[in-house]
A and B are shown apart, each in its own frame.
Chain A
Amino acid sequence: MNEEQNMMQSIQNVRELAYQSKQLLKETDRIMEKNGYEPLRGTRVYAKWNDNLNERYQENRSFLPPFMARYYILSDGPADKNRVTIFGITVQLYHASLPDLPPLFIGGRIEMDHVPGYDREIESHWLKAALLDREHRGDFTYDETFYKSSRVVEKEDLHNVTAEVMATSLLSIQSVEEIERFMTLMLTSWQSTK
């Protein structure tokens, strides 16, 4: 492979990665819909993206988004008047300050105070932050199948945000059945206390 072919294949790989990641998130939408949840923001993903020329190489916001996320609420609206439960999924392609981190498929439950317009307060990074970001990270464990982190409080602590997350290597997700298995585990772990 010469340099030009190398570059072309690299670009093709990135396009494929982005396309399949979106296909994956469509599957998670379908699975959550079957379980009575609807996605926030319609068909738009939560992502941090940067089109500024002054982007630094090790910046969280990049031309290639480090992650893309979807958040879900109960279709019938929150069951609890005081707290809102939101399920989330994040495809974490890379982390600027964790260069050895493999791409991850992250799922979890977020809880926050039920304030008016709570859906507009949700931040795209909450789920991945609970697992990966130093300042928010909970008790991080890895048991060969899943990375797990429990009970994390959002730094700004605006609305008493807590998160419980689990993750697996993105490469281990190669079929719709594997997505379903992960999502089922996520929902059964945390749905009962919604």
Chain B
Amino acid sequence: MLQSILHGKVPSVLVRSEDVLTSSVFGLLSYISSPALLVDMLAQVEPVLGERPFQVKPVTQVEFHFWPRLHTSEPDLVLVFCHEDDTYTLTAIEAKYLSPKSSLEKWEVPAEDRSAAGRDQLVKQMQDLQLLETRRLFAIPEKAAVQYAMYYVTNDHIAPGTDLNETIRAMPKDLAMSMTLAWFDWAYIYEAVLRDRKRSLQDEKIKRDLKQLCESLEFTRFGGFRHIKSVQKATWKIAEGERKKQG
């Protein structure tokens, strides 16, 4: 699938569908032999709520779980980071391209009567992440210390303030106290790949594909004006007249 995308064999509507995007971009990241690139990338995102994860204890291993079925939600990706001291960082990633959150908080319904469909999509995922059954699903020891983080990935180039503020507003106090909520855009992944240090030959091949994928999807940053090429003065004209007089 990836090679067909990179060689323009897949219709762009399909390439830009959120599930295909998530699978292609994060799928490539999952093949990199060391968690360092991913950890560096996530660690440098400025949270909108809570503390930055990955600041102290080195990560020894990361597991990728695409679209896991949690209690009331299905994040696009759950990342289970195991640290050197056997603590964990449990991270959900919800990736958007063109669509909005799949559900919003129904403020008009009393909180105790709100069904899952009436809850903010990110809040549901964050609450599910902290459940005991979620720990069991990902084989995290019940007594292990766990830090929780939620990353919201969108196609905006600056933080989608309304979306994020709505999520923060809908978070129960205990959840807000125990969770990191952060946002980044797709181009941030491209930037992280570019600034990453040189790795093994195989990892470099994966990074090259990821870079090419981001470029084909225009998930890039300002690249300067170096691609302007020399041309000769235009001689093409429909009619001589006003312009000739102006010289």
- A residues near B, CB below 8 A? 1, 3, 6-7, 9-10, 12-13, 16-17, 20, 23-24, 26-27, 29-30, 33, 38-39, 43, 56-58, 170-171, 173-176, 179
Contact (Cβ within 8 A) A174 B225: yes
Which A residues lie within 8 Å of B158 (CB)?
26, 29-30, 33, 38-39
Contact (Cβ within 8 A) A24 B228: no
A173 to B243, CA, bound (A): 32
Asked if B226 is an interface residue, CB under 8 A from chain A, the answer is yes
Known: A13-B228, A20-B224. 4 other contacts (CB 8 A): A10-B234, A26-B157, A26-B221, A176-B221
Contact (Cβ within 8 A) A23 B234: no
A29 to B161, CA, bound (A): 13
Which B residues lie within 8 Å of A173 (CB)?
224-225
Asked if B242 is an interface residue, CB under 8 A from chain A, the answer is yes
Asked if B246 is an interface residue, CB under 8 A from chain A, the answer is yes
State whether A56 and B231 are in contact (beta carbons under 8 Å apart), knowing that A23-B222, A27-B221 are contacts in the complex: no
Contact of B224 among A10, A38, A175 (CB under 8 A): A175
Which A residues lie within 8 Å of B232 (CB)?
1, 6
Q: Secondary structure of the B side of the interface?
A: loop
Contact (Cβ within 8 A) A23 B221: yes
Which B residues lie within 8 Å of A9 (CB)?
229, 231
A174 to B223, CA, bound (A): 7
Which B residues lie within 8 Å of A6 (CB)?
231-232, 234
A170 to B226, CA, bound (A): 11
Contact (Cβ within 8 A) A179 B231: no
Contact (Cβ within 8 A) B222 A26: yes
Which B residues lie within 8 Å of A58 (CB)?
246
Interface centre among B159, B231, B242, by most A CB within 10 Å?
A: B231
A49 to B244, CA, bound (A): 24
Which A residues lie within 8 Å of B228 (CB)?
13, 16-17
Contact (Cβ within 8 A) A23 B223: yes
Asked if B227 is an interface residue, CB under 8 A from chain A, the answer is yes
Asked if B220 is an interface residue, CB under 8 A from chain A, the answer is yes
Which B residues lie within 8 Å of A1 (CB)?
231-232
Contact with A along B197-223 (1 / 0, CB 8 A): 000000000000000000000001111
Asked if B99 is an interface residue, CB under 8 A from chain A, the answer is no
Which A residues lie within 8 Å of B229 (CB)?
9, 12-13
Which A residues lie within 8 Å of B225 (CB)?
16-17, 20, 170-171, 173-174
Which A residues lie within 8 Å of B223 (CB)?
20, 23
A58 to B157, CA, bound (A): 35
Contact of A175 among B222, B227, B231, B235 (CB under 8 A): B222
Contact of A20 among B161, B222, B235, B243 (CB under 8 A): B222
Contact (Cβ within 8 A) A23 B231: no
Which B residues lie within 8 Å of A23 (CB)?
220-223
